[in-house]
Amino acid sequence: MSKQQWMVAGAAFALVTACAQTSKQDEAVGGRAESEMAVPMVRPSAPAAAADMAMVRSQKRMAESFHGGVMPGYYAPPPEQHRENYAHLKDNGILRAAEQPVSTFSIDVDTGAYANVRRFLRQGQLPVQDAVRVEEMINYFDYGYAPPKDRAQPFSVHTEIAPTPWNAKTHLLRIGLQGWQASGPLPPSNLVFLVDVSGSMHSPDKLQLAVSSLKMLVQQLGPNDRISLVTYAGQSGVVLEPTPASERVKIISALDRLQVGGSTAGASGIELAYAMARQGNIEGGINRVLLVTDGDFNVGVTNFEQLMDMVERERKDGVALSTLGFGTGNYNDHLMEQLANCGNGNYHYIDGLEEARRALVASRASTLLTIASDVKIQVEFNPAVVAEYRLIGYENRALEREDFSNDQVDAGDIGAGHNVTALYEVALVGSGGERIAPLRYGSNKPAGTAQELAHLRLLYKQPGETASRLIEQPIGRDAVKTSLSQASESFRFAAAVAAFGQNLRGGRYTEGFDNGALLALARAARGDDADGWRSEFLQLVQLADSLSQPVRTGAMESQECVSERGCG
């Protein structure tokens, strides 16, 4: 075809795509309010469905004339972000230790929220508050905790307490876990790449980026590893049965042939991926499904709870599920994060090749190899020393007190080399940092010894075991540091990240701790930054600060006049 013919064909194709996308957006937006827990569903009309099929057939004919099935020069316009799906979470509140001394939660090693927030900021807009999970912001960074002495205990435990940067009358208690790091080769892996090739994945930041990311992982695997490739759109299919990773040319060729088209029957794809995982099962090895999608499941089983139940059933057979999220516009963060939780896996949002390298190459061991499962943390605060406390983040990881000792209750897993950080803001008795008046008829008499600030308990299971093991240690009052300058560099940087995440969620408890003070704290605690992640964090804070500043132009003033005040 001539260049002019290609331009005409491309314009017609874009027009059909836009019409179909508009129809889907209108129907999805109209139905989303029916249930906050439901995955957005799209039910195209018969004419729209026919247009979609015509588009797919046309695209396939045009793409087949090119190596790899990618049409040159065509980029779909970025979709609108109001269709993105996030779980609404209310910030943890302040609790009086005399009334509720025990705090229980599951650990979280996901980092998807941080990369997603970065994507928002780089696109020139502040993230929606529900996209910000503060614990995932904090856990994006390595804080250099000392590892355990040997494999017998899968992780070490570290605590530190110092004054809060945003409130001189309170303190931050940091609890850090550092996973054991394998020094030799990993156990053999049986990996199933479950790739969404539906029409919604047609953009450079979706399928193209996903294929490039998976190629990075393929290059890291050895002859004892196996890879299967399953795709799903209107129907699911096996592109590659379990294949030795040494056959890289075959695997990469299969990835390069992937093409988009059709609606998204994600549930049937998950079922087929688990079947491939069972077929290629490696006894004593790593058996895991990697779900690669924007999360926009819209045909077949789309109910949120049904999808999670399916994944929970399959994990009992020893096959984990991790999620790799891509793209914008119709992105379903809620589904991606919760499926990974139920699948005993982790959740990454991939906003570029550098993040893909970080998650799948540099952190391959922690992404693939689980060293401790169902890890729970319980902190009992001593009311004689601690007046109030609040857990920063982990809102959707909260557990009931009785869940701690119940081995049937699922919790988070730690991968090899993972580190996990949790922060509590605490007001000590008599500090003046208390916010809640004591109960009139409650018992206000402090109990316990004044030598202990809190007692820390951790439960975990060794891989393959069903009974939990207990680690516990007291946190002494003598560990409290009198000034923030005495705290470790990593403590101060973690505090800066926590402040940033809270500010992005509205800053309810950060006492007006602005970005200038936050930047000063983070810069002074940047420390060794070989990979540049901490320097990038400073840039993101500055971006957020710029986007938060009101711009007073005549056009904006006129718009505000119409939309907010009505000028009259």
Residue percentage of the chain with pLDDT more than 70: 78
Q: Residue 551 has what pLDDT?
A: 54
Give start and end residues of each alpha helix (H) in 352-441: 353-357, 364-368
Please state, in angstroms and rounded to a whole number, the distance separating the CA atoms of residues 74 and 51: 19
Mean pLDDT, rounded, for 464-469 = 92
Q: Residue 152 has what pLDDT?
A: 86
Residue 63 pLDDT > 80: no
Mean pLDDT, rounded, for 107-122 = 96
Please state, in angstroms and rounded to a whole number, the distance separating the CA atoms of residues 302 and 35: 12
Tokens of 209: 């980026």
Mean pLDDT, rounded, for 492-501 = 98
Residue 34 backbone dihedrals phi, psi, to 5 degrees: -65, -35
* pTM summary value: 0.81
Residue 56 pLDDT > 50: no
Residue 10 pLDDT > 50: no
Determine contact, residues 417/176, Cβ cutoff 8 Å. Answer: no
Residue percentage of the chain with pLDDT more than 90: 67
State the SS3 of 422-447: EEEEEEECCCCCCCCCCCCCCCCCCC
Q: Residue 6 has what pLDDT?
A: 45
Q: Residue 52 has what pLDDT?
A: 40
Give the pLDDT band (50/70/90) at residue 263: low
pLDDT greater at residue 24 or residue 381: 381
Q: Residue 308 has what pLDDT?
A: 82
Residue 2 pLDDT > 80: no
Alpha-carbon torsion 378, 383, 385, 388, what sign? positive
Determine contact, residues 503/510, Cβ cutoff 8 Å. Answer: yes
Q: What is the CA radius of gyration of the chain?
A: 25
Residue 173 β-bridge partners: 161, 424
Helix (H/G/I), strand (E/B), else coil: 25 = helix
> pLDDT by residue (tens digit) across 265-289?
556 788 899 999 999 999 999 999 9
Residue 14's CB: how many other CB atoms inside 10 A? 14
pLDDT greater at residue 104 or residue 72: 104
Q: Residue 165 has what pLDDT?
A: 97
Residue 7 backbone dihedrals phi, psi, to 5 degrees: -65, -40
Helix (H/G/I), strand (E/B), else coil: 516 = helix
Lowest mean per-residue pLDDT among 160-174, 183-197, 301-315, 347-361: 301-315
Q: Residue 546 has what pLDDT?
A: 94
Strands 412-415, 452-461: pairing kind? unpaired
76: left (phi over 0), alpha (psi -120 to 50) or beta: beta
Of 348, 331, 332, nearest to 340 by C-alpha is 348
- The DSSP code for 85 is B
Q: Residue 302 has what pLDDT?
A: 52
Averaged confidence pLDDT in the chain: 83
Give the pLDDT band (50/70/90) at residue 183: confident
Q: Residue 486 has what pLDDT?
A: 97
Tokens of 425: 């803001």
Please state, in angstroms and rounded to a whole number, the distance separating the CA atoms of residues 409 and 261: 40
Tokens of 429: 């008795």
Give the pLDDT band (50/70/90) at residue 469: very high
Residue 318 backbone dihedrals phi, psi, to 5 degrees: 90, 10
Please state, in angstroms and rounded to a whole number, the distance separating the CA atoms of residues 349 and 206: 11
Give the pLDDT band (50/70/90) at residue 64: very low
pLDDT greater at residue 368 or residue 297: 368
pLDDT greater at residue 150 or residue 126: 126
Q: Residue 267 has what pLDDT?
A: 66
> pLDDT by residue (tens digit) across 316-339?
888 999 999 999 988 999 999 999
Residue 7 pLDDT > 90: no
Residue 43 pLDDT > 80: no
Please state, in angstroms and rounded to a whole number, the distance separating the CA atoms of residues 201 and 59: 14
Mean pLDDT, rounded, for 42-56 = 40
